[in-house]
Amino acid sequence: MRKPIIAGNWKLHNTSSQGVALVQELGKLTADAKKVDIVVCPTFTTLTAVANALHGTNIHLGAQNLHWEKKGAFTGEVTAEMLRDVCCEYVLVGHSERRQYFAETDETVNKKVKAALEGNLVPIVCVGESLEEREAGTTEVLVGKQVKAALEDLTKDQVASLVIAYEPIWAIGTGRTATADQANEVCAFIRRTVAEVFGQDTADKTRIQYGGSVKADNIAELMGKSDIDGALVGGASLDAVGFSKIVKF
């Protein structure tokens, strides 16, 4: 019922020419990958060139961030309209690096989710706990709070249309990976949280990804779990061959 979605977050990597070369190779390697939605999220300066290179492929374009206002004195920001103008369909919201380094809060994440939806973008809403929070046994308290805050005041249809990415902070770029059972346990909890607020039918429609040191050698086990509907991939998405293997799990 839920089509898997594999998204690559390039973070602060790749010039326009490097990004074009990457997606040109990726497009060829994934031309026969029909069972999943494939998304790449380049840097802002690379979006237009990558969008042009994606024509004729089955790869969708996403951005890594947006601002909740439609215009104004917000130096360095971009709007949903600007992202749509360069052919973006998806946008990451609330990534742990944005929360950690750029002071994003549950409140601003909610504003960005609403702005993305209003601007006809699919938000990939990131939630996840730190190592300290996991070891303290507060994963569900923290993640549940983030999910409810991010989705506050949304309609059932809006929630069903977006993507939630569970990214345990302790597994991002560290080489440590949550076991498939650990990842599924939290993804299932996220689905129960959505059901609690918006009903089981909405929860059954909402796609929930896992992200955190996802690689070709662990994607199949992750995707075999009941509540994992895809992956948000960091470093491994910068290699076309490796990322294509993840997409073709």
Show the beta-strand stretches assigned E in the chain: 5-9, 37-41, 59-63, 90-93, 122-127, 163-166, 207-211, 230-233
The answer to whether 68 is annotated as binding is no
Say if residue 213 carries a ligand binding annotation: yes
Active-site residue, from 104, 129, 133, 167: 167
Asked whether residue 234 is marked as a ligand-binding residue, the answer is: yes
Measured between alpha carbons, how far is 239 from 94 in angstroms, rounded to an integer? 24
Out of 95, 97, 129, 133, pick the active-site residue.
95
137 is in an annotated binding site: no
Is 128 labelled a binding residue?
no
Let me know if 55 is a catalytic residue: no
Helix (H, G, I), strand (E, B) or coil at 203: helix
Per the annotation, does 235 bind a ligand? yes
107 assigned to active site: no
Name the residue among 240, 236, 245 with its Cα closest to residue 22: 240
Q: Is 173 annotated as a binding residue?
A: yes
Backbone angles phi, psi at 66, to 5 degrees: -160, 165
Contact yes or no for 183/210 (Cβ under 8 A):
yes
Per the annotation, where are the binding residues for substrate?
A: 9-11, 173, 213, 234-235
Q: Which residues are catalytic?
A: 95, 167
Per the annotation, where are the binding residues?
A: 9-11, 173, 213, 234-235
